[in-house]
Structure 1
Amino acid sequence: MILQPVIAPFLAILLVLPVLAGAVWMLVRAVRARGTGPAVWVLRVLLVLACGVLLLRPGVPGGQVRTLASATDVVIAVDTTASMVAEDWNGTHPRMDGVRQDVRGIVAAYPGARFALITFDATPVLRLPLTTDSTALVSAVDVLQPEVTRQSKGSSIGIANQLVAQTLQNAQKSSPDRARLVFYLGDGEQTVSTNPESFADAKKHASGGGVLGYGTAQGGPMRETTGALGDASGSDAGGGDYIQYQGSDALSRIDEKNLQQFASELGVKYQHRSATQKAVFPPAPKSTTAYRENDPLTQPTDLSWIAALVVVLLLCLEIARAAMLVVRMRGLSVRPEPAASPKQEGGEA
């Protein structure tokens, strides 16, 4: 028997044990009273026990599943400069909301692939080396925060070019038979006087991917990123005040020319992203995608559905009993009073 708890086991015990103790106590009292109550409380004790089993999700080993494996390495480079908190995604939401949405889309598009995450502002950082743990990638992006505004001194949007190329090159050396895709996610806004670095070196080791651009030509205001927990985690994040420029809110605007240049250097397509359109990702090469037939993943067979059926059955019995009691009480309330006898009427006369 294998347990796969829905919540922590000690929490399940804390939830179930007091209710179970109360139900058992009422059962003992009903037995001592020698009425019709014991049968009802026996069912209620079983109901509590079934709920506890459901929380623990029992199973047995031996189940097998076929999984789709993609022999593809996906390198994702995400812009984390201060402009990525500009509020022009889906109206007034930060651009990072769009990045998080599209990273989930990339994960869904390449099941079984290995993913690497690179972020860049003043310096590029390899946040997550190549791994098949897509949950770790999504979690890393969910907590991703742009650079602290007061520490920002301007940065180049191409500063991650060498790290991207090196990551792709290392992947090629370790697994030359795997496909390699690279995705660049940013707004293209260059905040230093130099031209962006080229991604031409990365093209030598990549077989596809895409450049995704965020922002609008009208621009969006930016809140100060303070580095506190919650900054840039959503439109209601507890960030600082809006950044000011010449007495009004500073606006960050997308630079699609730079992003299109990156797409050309990488040999991939550019997409301007908006909340109203779904991103389109290139398919992984068919030669690298297949079901694992000879090496199925062993999964426990979930038996919690049995406990769920017991819970539903016992709840139906409780509902039926409650309905009968309601009907009986309504019958008593509308029952007519007996008519007065003639003797009583004469006496009253």
Structure 2
Amino acid sequence: MIFQPVLNVFLLLLLFVPVAGLVVWILVRGPKPAAPTGAASPAGSDARRTARDHRLLWAMRLVLIVACFVMLLRPGIPGGATRTLATDTDIVLVVDTTASIVAEDWADGQPRLDGVRDDVRALVQQYPGARFALLTFDAAAELRMPLTTDTTALIGSLDVLRPEVTSQSRGSSIGLAAPLLAETLESAAASSPDRSRMVFYFGDGEQTVSSPPETFAASSDYTDAGAVFGYGTAEGGPMRITSGGLDGADAGYIEYQGDDALSVIDEQNLEALAGQLGVPYVHRSADAAPALPEAPSTTTNYAESGEVGNATELYWIAALVILALLGVELARAAMLIARLRTLRSPVDGGAA
């Protein structure tokens, strides 16, 4: 039997012992004795019944207090134990949010962004305990979420992530996030020099401005591992218009010279980007799980305790006892109220 109290045990004792002591004192003291009567008289029988009911009532209340105490102790039966891996590293995710990230050539005509979301979920499972930061870029680079271990917030941010509004698109560079990434990694290295750093880039490599892409070489000194994930196909996929409206209306597809514009992956650009970061390039497709690198060995270890126990909770048994006793108390209160309503007030006035 193990206990996982919701409060410190000493605080629980401080709360429950005085109340339990008072109930025990009332139980032992009993009702005030009635005047002596014959053993066989109705008055003597009523007195004994009253004393018995008194003891039963307060004994039940004592059990209620003990059951509440036990429930707050959270008893359980220990089960198997598992070892939990902790990844003491910082992971920066760089996500392309230009219009091409919703090109529909992922899986069975799904947008590429769905693949990005699936791969980030795989990352979260692969590196438990890591801190994640989310950085996106389209017309500008933005740090959507600073380093945090709150993976629920990370997944939530990706679930609501949308590409830039199509009407505001003026072309984009796949290296636009390079300065912000270097700044984020440098800040992480300065605040936590003992932690390793990993970078994962998610994009299609399409350079839609005339200038060459910015280099990520400044980030390589702070990057211990990671990968560049490429999304898309050589055949390309159509892109839906993103209006930014709230009505959910289908605005159709982006067109070029009367036909649907197609976004095509540029793996040469992505490989060059991976070389600048010093990480491998991986082309992603829906029919294969992402090949994720091992976290740096110096920052991957088991929890200090080595084990995390699994227990079968038993507090619900005490909760059922409490529920039953409260039901008895409520039934008794309802009977007393009903009895009071049947009592008649004394009739005033003298004899006729």
TM class by shorter-chain length? 0.5 to 0.7
The Cα shift of 1:61 comes to 4.9
CA, structure 1 residues 157+62, in 2 after alignment: closer, same or farther (shift >3 Å)?
Answer: farther
| Matched residue, 1:281 | 292
Deviations 1:38-63 (A, max 9, x none): xxxxxxxxxxxxxxxxxxxx875588
| Matched residue, 2:266 | 255
CA, structure 1 residues 295+274, in 2 after alignment: closer, same or farther (shift >3 Å)?
Answer: closer
Deviations 1:10-43 (A, max 9, x none): xxxxxxxxxxxxxxxxxxxxxxxxxxxxxxxxxx
* Number of equivalences: 250
| Matched residue, 1:132 | 149
CA RMSD of aligned residues (A): 3.1
Q: 2:172 aligns with which of 145, 155, 170?
A: 155
1:106 aligns to what SS in structure 2?
Answer: helix
What one-letter code is carried by the residue in structure 2 that aligns with 1:81? T
Q: 1:108 aligns with which of 93, 115, 125?
A: 125
| Matched residue, 2:279 | 268
Quote the Cα distance in structure 2 between the aligned partners of 1:296 and 1:183. 30
**Unaligned runs of at least 5 residues, structure 2:** 7-70, 319-352
Contact 2:75 2:314 in 1 (8 A): no
2:202 aligns to what SS in structure 1?
Answer: strand
What one-letter code is carried by the residue in structure 2 that aligns with 1:174? S
Deviations 1:68-111 (A, max 9, x none): 32110000000000111110000310000000000101111110
Contact 2:102 2:239 in 1 (8 A): yes
Quote the Cα distance in structure 1 between the aligned partners of 2:294 and 2:123. 11
Deviations 1:223-252 (A, max 9, x none): 101113597xxxxxx542111111111111
Quote the Cα distance in structure 1 between the aligned partners of 2:247 and 2:294. 35
| Matched residue, 1:98 | 115
| Matched residue, 2:189 | 172
Q: Which of these two proteins has the greater Rg computed from alpha carbons?
A: 2
| Matched residue, 1:246 | 257
TM-score, normalised with respect to structure 2: 0.65
Contact 1:59 1:300 in 2 (8 A): no
Quote the Cα distance in structure 2 between the aligned partners of 1:227 and 1:128. 21
What one-letter code is carried by the residue in structure 2 that aligns with 1:226? S
Contact 1:226 1:239 in 2 (8 A): no
Quote the Cα distance in structure 1 between the aligned partners of 2:316 and 2:235. 53
Contact 2:84 2:306 in 1 (8 A): no
2:171 aligns to what SS in structure 1?
Answer: coil
What percent of counterpart residues are identical? 58
The Cα shift of 1:143 comes to 0.7
Q: Does 1:210 align with 2:221?
A: no
Quote the Cα distance in structure 1 between the aligned partners of 2:265 and 2:173. 14
Which residues of 2 match residues 33-72 of structure 1 at below 5 A?
A: 60-61=73-74, 67-72=84-89
Q: 2:163 aligns with which of 129, 138, 146?
A: 146
2:105 aligns to what SS in structure 1?
Answer: strand
CA, structure 1 residues 228+288, in 2 after alignment: closer, same or farther (shift >3 Å)?
Answer: same
What one-letter code is carried by the residue in structure 2 that aligns with 1:263? A
| Matched residue, 2:336 | none
TM-score, normalised with respect to structure 1: 0.65
Quote the Cα distance in structure 1 between the aligned partners of 2:148 and 2:199. 15
**Unaligned runs of at least 5 residues, structure 1:** 3-57, 232-237, 308-349
